[in-house]
Amino acid sequence: MEVRTNTSIDRSCSRPQLNVSGAAIQGNFEDRDPSIVLPNQSDDISHLALDIGGSLIKLVYFSRHEDRSVNDKRKKPLKEKIGTSSFNRRSYTTTGGKLHFVNFETRKINECLDFISSKQLHLGALSLSLSLSLSLSLSLSLPAMLIPYEQATGGGAFKFVDLFKEKLGVTIDKEDEMDSLVAGANFLLKAIFHEAFTHVGGQKEFVQIDHNDMFPYLLVNIGSGVSIIKVDGDGKFQRVSGTNVGGGTYWGLGRLLTKCQSFDELLELSQRGDIKAIDMFVGDIYGGTDYSKIGLSATNIASSFGKAISENKELEDYRAEDISLSLLRMITYNIGQISYLNALRFGIKRMIFGGFFIRGHAYTMDTISNAVHFWSKGEAQAMFLRHEGFLGALGAFLSYEKHGLDDLMTHQLVERFPMGAPYVGGRIHGQPLGNLNDKITWMEKFVQKGTEIFAPVPMVPKGTMGPEGLERSSSKGDYLLSGDATLNVGVLHLIPTLEVFPLLADPKTYEPNTIDLSDQNELEYWFTILSEHLPDLVDKAVASEGGTDVARRKGDSFAHAFSAHLARLMEEPAAYGKLGLANLLELREDCLREFQFVDAYRTIKQRENEASLAVLPDLLMELDSMSEENRLYSVIEGVLAANIFDWGSRACVDLYHNGSIIEIYRMSRNKMQRPWQASKKIFHMMRTCDNVDDFDIFKERMLGSACKKPQPHRRALLFVDNSGADIVLGMLPLARELLRRGTERNHPPCQVVNKGRIDFVVRMVLGDNGGFRFRVLMGELVMEEEEEDQSQPSDLKL
Ligand SMILES: Nc1ncnc2c1ncn2[C@@H]1O[C@H](COP(=O)(O)OP(=O)(O)OP(=O)(O)O)[C@@H](O)[C@H]1O
Ligand SMILES: CC(C)(CO)[C@@H](O)C(=O)NCCC(=O)O
């Protein structure tokens, strides 16, 4: 049975808009939870969950894009539009969505309420309550029935019930805090790639935990207080211990002792502190010597704040920096130690630390790691989470069962910086984004603010001794993002249900990044390249949107946004997870999309498509007239030649500035009898141009799209010779084997050129039997595989 309402709520001036016109109840009145179909709903629907803690409110919300073509009522008969009785939100086709993370100070709860209200997140939750409310009574007018509710956990879910009701008209649906913490942690470990990491001596290293071997682990949530939870499975856990000496203690006591106004200020102070000023060391007691008999060295701290006993000093005589550091060390070390003792109690080796106290702060994580390492004698290791502070909020969020977010569990989520939100670190800047102009204006503000936000606060000078005698590393991880950048996280993007590379032997271990940007030199090199390419890309993007003033503004905003990302990543390369070149290129695409550039290469593609279509009949006739073998050969050549233009390199761009691809293609076919002469020309230009990186962009693209079963260390094999140039892809092991055999046959020793960015030069020729034969050229080395090739080796010198 269907009951229809004609009521619609007009919120046309803001997002998200909920269009309930034509809303229909599906099924029978007797059904407990009949589904509501909103056939005309076209905007994102957001879902919201909160974790209201003693110090901070953490907010997680999700917005998704439904596949409108599936629900497009113009294309489908009514019955299909609203589906069958099994229709529910789960039957929507996912095209992706975003999970956003924001935090506010609990004492400033009104800011949080304003934020929710400005983004109308509480109305998004309404899509859930519809089904509940309507099943209760159908005689009420629709707006009156809408009693949205929000999922909330933490103590505040109890404390602020009335405030939420009064200000937002929402009812809080309380979730158990520990349940939420565990659900959030399990979710992060399962669904997010590069979520967990170790942090030792300033070095962050991502750990991929096997989903089938995740439990048990000890979850230590360091909030205001500390909860220690033994997790044995999904929903299977026990809070085995806790301590009231936690983040609240550091912030509370620190504020009293230093008169700091904010947590960040206190944390920043600690970075300039000297641990030796107040803490008493073993050496202070043992006349500068170790107490090795019990495993203590002179540089171990014997007593936190111990020096203050004997020195005849008042509080004012100590530097706030030193107090902050000693306090931070005392509390973090103590938490690490208590946690380890609990791990020992239950024989658990894996310890995962969360909670907002950690703040991605290098010193905090290093100290916890030290404590665990020291007391376990290296047997146990501390791990941290990138979304450390949002476990509870995420868990509460996941407890929404009805909105079909199962996708979140089964798909990978990747992190991007929150470009689309009108706030920075919880502070609202102006109205919610309504249209592109708002976004651009906000972006201008964001960029100004961004410089402030991402300015790193330097650590103590290199060489200063930290606790436990460890020299503080000067790694990037030692920077604290200052000011509002309380979020070490931004927006998680849900990748749509498209399977990537379905033929990969083992998708889990497949690493599409052939260039590892953890190497600082590589990182700088690529950042320079991408920055230098930016003006050219902006020009193309602007042209692709008609070259109007608006397009130019959009282009400038895109450039600002992308540059801001690059600046942030330069300071903290792992800010969005492990970073490879492919991620950077993807990030650039993301930014373009953010500013509604559908396709920066659109005009070029249009031009090429038109030219191609004009000559297609001729080309097909030509191909048809060939012998079978030649035809196949020509088609392969043509495909490879065309592919070369898909890499966006400067040399290539220069080339097609002077003519269309098809012209080059035709010219090469006619004049040189080799369709790939065009590519030869490109390679020549690439090899002679300064930007050897073009090879890498090319390789990245080709390897990312063309290989069916690539190996982790595979490289592009480039073929270059006198008579033409082409490219084949191959596996490094294969190439090595070929080279080995070549060397055994007394060919001159081969040289693997990494710096020149060409590893191998291989020529691949289609054999009579339809297979390929290889001719490997590496510098002076020439060798044959399978069949002898008569052509002369190239005079190529790498
Ligand atoms: N910007 C900040 N303002 C205040 N505290 C911060 C900030 N950033 C980090 N912290 C630290 O994080 C702690 C709060 O962590 P978290 O939000 O995980 O706990 P909580 O939920 O507020 O507390 P609890 O779970 O004990 O109720 C604070 O006590 C403080 O030590
Ligand atoms: C009371 C909670 C659970 C509130 O989040 C937290 O602050 C905590 O775990 N405190 C430590 C309490 C104790 O076990 O001594």
State the residue for tokens 């859930």.
128
User: How do residues 478-526 score in pLDDT, each as one tens digit?
Assistant: 333 333 333 334 556 555 444 556 677 776 677 767 777 877 788 888 8
614 shares a domain with 588: no
618 shares a domain with 554: no
Which ligand approaches the C-alpha of residue 152 most closely? 1
Dist. CA 215–CA 230, nearest whole Å: 9
618 shares a domain with 588: no
Q: Which of 57, 175, 177, 227 to mutate to test the pocket of ligand 2 (most atoms within 8 A of CB)?
A: 227
Burial pattern 136-150, b for ≥16 Cβ within 10 A else e, equals eeeeeebeebbebbb
**Ligand 1 pocket, 247 CB below 6 A?**
yes
Q: Which of 598, 615, 635 is the last residue of a domain?
A: 598
> Which atom of ligand 2 lies closest to the CA of 53?
5
Ligand 1, atom 26, residue with closest C-alpha: 224
620 shares a domain with 758: yes
Which pLDDT value is given to residue 49? 84
Which pLDDT value is given to residue 574? 76
Cβ atoms 717, 735 nearer than 8 A: yes
When mean pLDDT is compared across 85-89, 364-368, 730-734, the lowest value belongs to 85-89
Mean pLDDT of 259-282: 94
Q: Which of 229-238, 584-593, 756-765 has the highest mean pLDDT?
A: 229-238
**Ligand 1 pocket, 50 CB below 6 A?**
no
For residue 222, the CA-to-ligand 1 centroid distance in Å is: 8
User: How do residues 100-134 score in pLDDT, each as one tens digit?
Assistant: 777 788 888 888 888 787 777 776 543 222 222 22
Which pLDDT value is given to residue 656? 57
- Number of structural domains, the chain? 4
Dist. CA 129–CA 133, nearest whole Å: 6
User: How do residues 193-212 score in pLDDT, each as one tens digit?
Assistant: 778 999 998 888 888 888 88
For residue 250, the CA-to-ligand 2 centroid distance in Å is: 15
Cis previous bond, 712, omega within 30: no
Q: For 425-471, where are the E strands, in sequence order?
A: 427-428, 456-457
For residue 243, the CA-to-ligand 2 centroid distance in Å is: 7
- Give the confidence band of 242 by pLDDT, cuts at 50, 70, 90: very high
For residue 168, the CA-to-ligand 2 centroid distance in Å is: 29
Residue closest to 648 by CA, chosen among 768, 773, 536, 527: 536
- Give the confidence band of 266 by pLDDT, cuts at 50, 70, 90: very high
**What phi, psi does 220 have (nearest 5°)?**
-115, 110
**Ligand 2 pocket, 155 CB below 6 A?**
yes
Angle at 233 between CA 338 and CA 222, to 5 degrees: 30
CATH number at residue 370: 3.30.420.40
For residue 258, the CA-to-ligand 1 centroid distance in Å is: 18
Mean pLDDT of 709-737: 34
Residue closest to 419 by CA, chosen among 441, 438, 443: 443
Which pLDDT value is given to residue 654? 56
Domain contains 134: no
Give the percent of the chain with pLDDT over 90. Answer: 23
CATH number at residue 554: 1.20.1700.10
Domain contains 239: yes
Domain contains 186: no
When mean pLDDT is compared across 78-92, 121-135, 264-278, 648-662, the lowest value belongs to 78-92
**Ligand 2 pocket, 239 CB below 6 A?**
no
Dist. CA 316–CA 258, nearest whole Å: 9
Cβ atoms 206, 516 nearer than 8 A: no
For residue 739, the CA-to-ligand 1 centroid distance in Å is: 58
For residue 252, the CA-to-ligand 2 centroid distance in Å is: 15
Helix (H, G, I), strand (E, B), or coil: what is residue 179? helix
Which ligand approaches the C-alpha of residue 241 most closely? 2
666 shares a domain with 626: yes
Return the percent helix, strand and coil in the chain, to nearest 5.
45, 20, 35
**Ligand 1 pocket, 397 CB below 6 A?**
no
For residue 453, the CA-to-ligand 1 centroid distance in Å is: 20
For residue 400, the CA-to-ligand 2 centroid distance in Å is: 25
Q: Is the dihedral of CA 711, 715, 716, 718 positive or negative?
A: negative
Q: Which of 219, 357, 390 to mutate to test the pocket of ligand 1 (most atoms within 8 A of CB)?
A: 357
> Which atom of ligand 2 lies closest to the CA of 242?
14
Residue closest to 208 by CA, chosen among 233, 226, 191: 191
Which pLDDT value is given to residue 182? 96
343 shares a domain with 232: yes
- List Cα–Cα distances, 344 to 379, 380, 384, in angstroms: 10, 9, 19
**Ligand 1 pocket, 224 CB below 6 A?**
yes
Of the two residues 391 and 512, the one the predictor is more confident about is 391
User: How do residues 308-327 score in pLDDT, each as one tens digit?
Assistant: 998 889 999 999 999 999 99
Helix (H, G, I), strand (E, B), or coil: what is residue 241? strand
User: How do residues 404-463 score in pLDDT, each as one tens digit?
Assistant: 444 444 444 555 544 443 333 334 444 444 555 555 555 555 544 444 433 333 233 333
Which pLDDT value is given to residue 236? 95
237 shares a domain with 269: yes
For residue 344, the CA-to-ligand 2 centroid distance in Å is: 21
606 shares a domain with 581: no
- Give the confidence band of 707 by pLDDT, cuts at 50, 70, 90: very low
669 shares a domain with 534: no
State the residue for tokens 């191998």.
760
**Ligand 1 pocket, 53 CB below 6 A?**
yes
Which ligand approaches the C-alpha of residue 425 most closely? 1
> Given a cut of 60, is residue 397 above it in pLDDT?
yes
**Ligand 1 pocket, 774 CB below 6 A?**
no
Cβ atoms 400, 47 nearer than 8 A: yes
Look up the domain containing 625 and give its range: 602-686+693-777
Domain contains 248: yes
- Give the confidence band of 617 by pLDDT, cuts at 50, 70, 90: confident
Ligand 2, atom 8, residue with closest C-alpha: 225
**Ligand 1 pocket, 227 CB below 6 A?**
no
Cα 547 to chain centroid distance, Å, stands at: 32
Which residues are CB-contacts of 496 (< 8 A; sequence separation ≥ 6)?
Answer: 94, 95, 96, 411
Q: Which of 50, 51, 52, 55 to mutate to test the pocket of ligand 1 (most atoms within 8 A of CB)?
A: 55
Of the two residues 572 and 67, the one the predictor is more confident about is 572
Which pLDDT value is given to residue 413? 54
Domain contains 699: yes
Which pLDDT value is given to residue 492? 60
**Ligand 2 pocket, 223 CB below 6 A?**
yes
For residue 389, the CA-to-ligand 2 centroid distance in Å is: 15
Domain contains 658: yes
Q: For 146-300, where are the E strands, in sequence order?
A: 149-153, 171-174, 196-200, 203-207, 217-222, 226-233, 236-243, 280-281
For residue 43, the CA-to-ligand 2 centroid distance in Å is: 40
Domain contains 648: yes
Q: Which of 556, 578, 598 is the last residue of a domain?
A: 598
Ligand 1, atom 25, residue with closest C-alpha: 223
H or E segment to which residue 363 belongs: helix 362-375
Q: Which of 52, 57, 153, 224 to mutate to test the pocket of ligand 2 (most atoms within 8 A of CB)?
A: 224
Q: Are strands 760-766 and 772-778 parallel, antiparallel or unpaired?
A: antiparallel
704 shares a domain with 765: yes
The DSSP call for residue 428 is E
Residue closest to 480 by CA, chosen among 361, 628, 328, 578: 361
Domain contains 139: no
**Ligand 1 pocket, 263 CB below 6 A?**
yes
Dist. CA 755–CA 747, nearest whole Å: 23
Q: Which of 385, 418, 436 is the last residue of a domain?
A: 385
For residue 170, the CA-to-ligand 1 centroid distance in Å is: 25
745 shares a domain with 662: yes
CB count, 10 Å around CB of 162? 9
Residue closest to 350 by CA, chosen among 375, 391, 380: 380
> Which atom of ligand 1 lies closest to the CA of 262?
3
The DSSP call for residue 420 is T
For residue 103, the CA-to-ligand 1 centroid distance in Å is: 10
Q: For residue 788, give both structure tokens.
A: 């002898």
- Give the confidence band of 257 by pLDDT, cuts at 50, 70, 90: very high
227 shares a domain with 163: no
For residue 175, the CA-to-ligand 2 centroid distance in Å is: 16
> Which atom of ligand 2 lies closest to the CA of 243?
15
